Amino acid sequence: MSEKLEGAARETALSDLGGRGWALVEGRDAIQKTFKFKSFVEAWGWMSRMAIEAEKLDHHPEWFNVYSRVEVTLTTHDVSGLSTLDVALAAKMDA
C-alpha cells in the first residue's frame, strides 16, 4: 500500500516533478506528462518497458498513445490522490 502525499513531502515532490515536466491535472489530484518519441515503434517500446516497471510496483498508469506521443496520468485510486507510488513510477518513466 502506498502513502498519500501531504504537507512538505507533497510540496517537495511536486516541485521536483514540475522541474521534470509533470503538471497537476485540473480538477483531479493527479499529475500528467506527455512523452514524445521519434516514431510509433519507439513510443510502443517505451510503453512496454514502463508496463514492466508498473507491474513491479503494482501501480498502473492511465495513458494514451497516438503515433509517437504518449500522454501519461498518474494518481493512486487507493488513497484518492497522489502517492509515493506516483512519484516512484514518474521517476522510472523519466529515467
CB atoms near residue 62 (< 10 Å): 12
Mean pLDDT of 42-46: 98
What is the reported pTM? 0.94
At residue 78, what are phi and psi to the nearest 5 degrees? -60, -25
**Architecture of the domain spanning 7-94:** 2-Layer Sandwich (3.30)
Q: Helices (DSSP H) in the chain: which residue ranges?
A: 7-19, 40-57, 84-94
At residue 11, what are phi and psi to the nearest 5 degrees? -60, -40
Mean pLDDT of 80-88: 96
Q: Is the pLDDT of residue 35 over 70?
A: yes
6-28 residue pLDDT tens: 999 999 999 999 999 999 999 99
For the chain, give every domain's residue range.
7-94
Furthest C-alpha separation in the chain: 40
